[in-house]
Chain A
């Protein structure tokens, strides 16, 4: 079984634990919580870059460690996206990449979309661009960064597809989890109604804080409330 197959297996079985990956002289750690890759590190890298490096190793030993998973979530990208990048899959749609990379259908595809909403898809991006204010409409442009807002984290919550709090931090993590679960679902339904595709992120700006919600490809939703640093 290849390294990527082993990683896929952790995601598909909702595994939790720390895995040491050794490939020749190189080694790295992958931290999974309920099938979600939350932290990765090599000698020199942390987070997404580390995960990409490890997943790019053609072969290696995959050793389960006894240490508990790190509490800090440093990996921001969904596992399917990381696997797709590591495998060099770039020419497919996001859903095809997801299936190719993880071997599983995304939750949003498995779900039954209300037929009346699915049929009425008003927004071909091309048509919309034609209607937009001239300037940037002609060519696809880089997306807004979906990174979490910078600042002091007040609370965070990782919510399972069934609405359970998988991991919470800070005061009010339970309350945040409830809001995150409901808000993410509402966003999803709004996206379906407007034919705008899957939800990538939701940012809410308050007077003294910012809420960021990121649905993940495995159906989990991560929410984080941040107080911007005073400058």
Chain B
């Protein structure tokens, strides 16, 4: 797992603290976050974020969710990751057939420019299939 240029681009949005991508199991597949967030923190929260996204998606896929906490906010949007590493899938499957769902999570201040973030995250979502799901 390593930091990525696509995730780093989110820092072009003023105030963005960092971001990470999790797969359908809540495992972190990419991160661009300060060391304050250790891997265990992301493991603990990743699983719940995926569950939250699944519940929110029951009646249609949301564009995004914004969780506003006392200290900062968490912007979440669905992405598709590459599942090429998943056993049993043929190599010539199209992206839609081989894509695995995941979430892009961006840690932001309460004052973040949401419109800019929506657009920037859309671009990262398009890049997300480059990241293989962890499992």
- B114 vs chain A, min Cβ distance (A): 8
**Interchain CB contact (< 8 A) of B109 among A141, A194, A201, A207:** A141
**Interchain CB contact (< 8 A) of A143 among B38, B65, B111:** B111
B14–A133 touching, CB < 8 Å = yes
- A74 vs chain B, min Cβ distance (A): 22
Q: How far is the CA of A194 from the CA of B112 in the complex (A)?
A: 19
B69–A193 touching, CB < 8 Å = no
A199–B63 touching, CB < 8 Å = no
- B11 vs chain A, min Cβ distance (A): 5
**Interchain CB contact (< 8 A) of B15 among A135, A191, A200, A204:** A135
A94–B70 touching, CB < 8 Å = yes
Q: How far is the CA of A205 from the CA of B9 in the complex (A)?
A: 23
B111–A136 touching, CB < 8 Å = yes
**Interchain CB contact (< 8 A) of B110 among A94, A141, A202:** A141
In the complex, A183 has a CB within 8 A of chain B: yes
Q: Which of B47-55, B94-102, B127-135 contacts A (4 or more CB under 8 A)?
A: B47-55
**Interchain CB contact (< 8 A) of B71 among A135, A196, A207:** A196
Residues of A within 8 A of B (CB): 94, 117, 120, 122-125, 127-129, 131-137, 141-144, 146, 179, 182-183, 186-187, 189-191, 193-207, 211
Given contacts A94-B70, A133-B15, 4 further A-B contacts (CB under 8 A): A131-B34, A186-B55, A194-B107, A200-B68
Residues of B within 8 A of A (CB): 11-18, 34, 36-38, 40-41, 44-45, 48-49, 51-52, 55-56, 58, 60-74, 107, 109-112, 114
